[in-house]
Amino acid sequence: MELSKAFTTTEIRDMAISVIAVALIFSYPRLIEFPIFLVAVIIAFLFHELAHKFVAQRFGAVAHYKMWPHLLVLGLVTMFTPFKFVAPGAVVIQPYRFGRWGYRIKHLTPNELGLISVSGILVNLFFALTFRLIDIPIFQSIALLNAWLALFNLLPFGPLDGRKVLRWNIMFWFILILISFLLVASALLL
């Protein structure tokens, strides 16, 4: 698929700004490590969002990444504190597609909504488990970042994926949050 058909220029801009900002937030005050954090954020954050986008599109919905400037600024402000807040944007899913004579509505089933929501978390858990097996400090850091992102997104609040996954399948949500918690705990105890 051609890049211009898969992504709008606004979406590419929003993703690039978000990835750079998140890498900057995590690398501060050790800005010399920015390139390392940039790679880690691409693997953890960008691939998480792309999973949502591509699964939603697979189900016939329109999906695009939307940056949230006010939360991006909040994240940049909190980078100077011990508690960093990172929520620069998300994939917006619209269950319709414009056509020549108007639009057609695609009703997403509860199962489809659950699969869209869980897709980003599964990407993070895949990378967390994969990089956890490689005993090199940078890979352990990437594994931890992915495990944290999965655990954070599984919280059942607000617009986070956890609320949608919990509504879709409570047992699957419980298993995923347990795996995420164990991955984070085991990485922090090393």
Active site residue ranges: 49
Instruction: For residue 65, give the H/E element and its range.
Output: strand 62-67
Q: Provide DSSP, 106-151.
A: -PPPHHHHHHHHHHHHHHHHHHHHHHHTS-SHHHHHHHHHHHHHHH
Contact indicator for 71, 30 with CB cutoff of 8 Å: no
- Taking each helix axis from N to C terminus, what angle separates 161-168 and 110-132, rounded to the nearest 10 degrees? 120
Return the amino acid letter for 128.
Answer: A
